[in-house]
Amino acid sequence: MRIASFNVNSVKARLPALLAWLGEARPDVVCLQELKCEEAGFPRLEIEDAGYQAAVVGQKSYNGVAILTRHSLEVECRALPGAPDDLQARYVEALIGGKLRVGGLYLPNGNPVDSEKFPYKLNWMSRLVERARELLALEEMTVLAGDYNVCPSDGDVYDPIAFANDALCRRESRAAFRRLLHLGYVDGLMASDPGPRRFTYWDYQNRAFERDDGLRIDHLLLSPQAADRLVDAGVDKGPRSGGRPSDHTPVWCELDL
DNA sequence: ATGGTGGTTCGACCA
């Protein structure tokens, strides 16, 4: 079972590239972020023609997440618990094939750090830690996949000094990410394929991709039951290399179920 | 020193 996360930066603008990648990579499950459309505008027919069911949580213009799968799909959750007045479309959770739980998330960016956006990010992360704790108690195979907007360490940043005060690298952001690891979740890519410069995002500006000036901010966190089944993981730079790319590229892992 | 990219949406915000 291959599970991937892909921030598409508009599912409509990325539809040809997304369909091409689904056809080549044929993942069993894909978590998408930054759909930038409401559920009614999601290209459901085209995705279904490619062989995927979709659980979609959207909003106009910003954010938006989905879980696509070639297997059975039961939606468990359409928002992160703990803030019923938070209408930002950033979390969706589903049971895949009746045996794998997948949470797809788009964590707030948090910049600039002196605005209300940074405390919103930290509050969102606290709620994610609580949900992750609840899920751990179920003792299921679970994957929390998405754009975390956190570089866990300086090795995940092409220029750590320039990003030292960025919301993606701040001590508070990294501490909250580590709380997920301390609960017992495993960083799938680091467990299977560690090493420097495993970036998943490159800015559109300054030829960042060509220079490999990137960040590792897209992550797959595995519950112990899922981590015990981990056989491989990687970053697929193909979609970032093609025409009209997203600024992110997919990260994936394979579980032996 | 400035602006540099791209998406949504049509001025400005977000990343």
Burial (CB count <10 Å: 0-12, 13-18, 19+), residue A206: exposed
Nucleotides of chain B touched by protein CB (<7 A):
4-9, 14-15
Q: What is the pLDDT of residue A195?
A: 82
CATH at residue A70? 3.60.10.10
Q: Which nucleotide is nearest to A109 (CA to C1')?
A: B15
The pLDDT tens digits along chain A (257 residues) read: 999 999 999 999 999 999 999 999 999 999 999 999 999 999 999 999 999 999 999 999 999 999 999 999 999 999 999 999 999 999 999 999 999 999 999 999 999 999 999 999 999 999 999 999 999 999 999 999 999 999 999 999 999 999 999 999 999 999 999 999 999 999 999 999 888 899 999 999 999 999 999 999 999 999 999 999 999 999 999 999 999 999 999 999 999 99
* Residue A22: count of CB within 10 angstroms of its CB: 20
Q: What is the pLDDT of residue A194?
A: 87
Q: What is the pLDDT of residue A199?
A: 98
State the alpha helices, DSSP H only, in A26-85.
Answer: 44-49
DSSP A126-165: HHHHHHHHHHHHTT-EEEEEEE-----SGGGBS-TTTTTT
State the alpha helices, DSSP H only, in chain A.
Answer: 15-25, 44-49, 117-137, 171-183, 188-192, 224-227, 238-241
Question: For the whole model, what pTM was predicted?
Answer: 0.97
Looking at the structure of chain A, the number of domains it has is 1
Residue A239: asked if its preceding bond is cis (omega within 30°), the reply is no
HSE-up of A131 (CA within 13 Å, CB side)? 25
| Two tokens, residue A1 | 């079972």
Rounded CA–C1' distance between A98 and B5, in angstroms:
42
Residue located via tokens 């921030």: A7
Rg (CA), chain A: 17
CA nearest neighbour of A98 among A127, A77, A125, A73? A73
Q: Which nucleotide is nearest to A35 (CA to C1')?
A: B7
- Strand B-proximal protein residues, Cβ less than 7 Å: A 9-10, 12-13, 36-37, 60-62, 108-109, 111, 117, 203-206, 244
Contact A225, A238 (CB under 8 A): no
Contact A148, A121 (CB under 8 A): no
Q: pLDDT tens digits, residue range A175-230?
A: 999 999 999 999 999 999 888 899 999 999 999 999 999 999 999 999 999 999 99
Q: What is the pLDDT of residue A20?
A: 97
Q: Report the amino acid identity of residue A135.
A: L
Q: Which nucleotide is nearest to A38 (CA to C1')?
A: B8
Nearest residue for B6, CA–C1': A204
Burial (CB count <10 Å: 0-12, 13-18, 19+), residue A156: buried
Domain residues for the domain of A121 are 2-255
Calculate the CA dihedral of residues A186, A101, A105, A6 and round it to 10 degrees: 80
Rounded CA–C1' distance between A135 and B12, in angstroms:
40
Rounded CA–C1' distance between A141 and B3, in angstroms:
48
Residue A112: asked if its preceding bond is cis (omega within 30°), the reply is yes
The rounded percent of chain A whose pLDDT value lies above 90 is 98
Q: Which nucleotide is nearest to A9 (CA to C1')?
A: B7
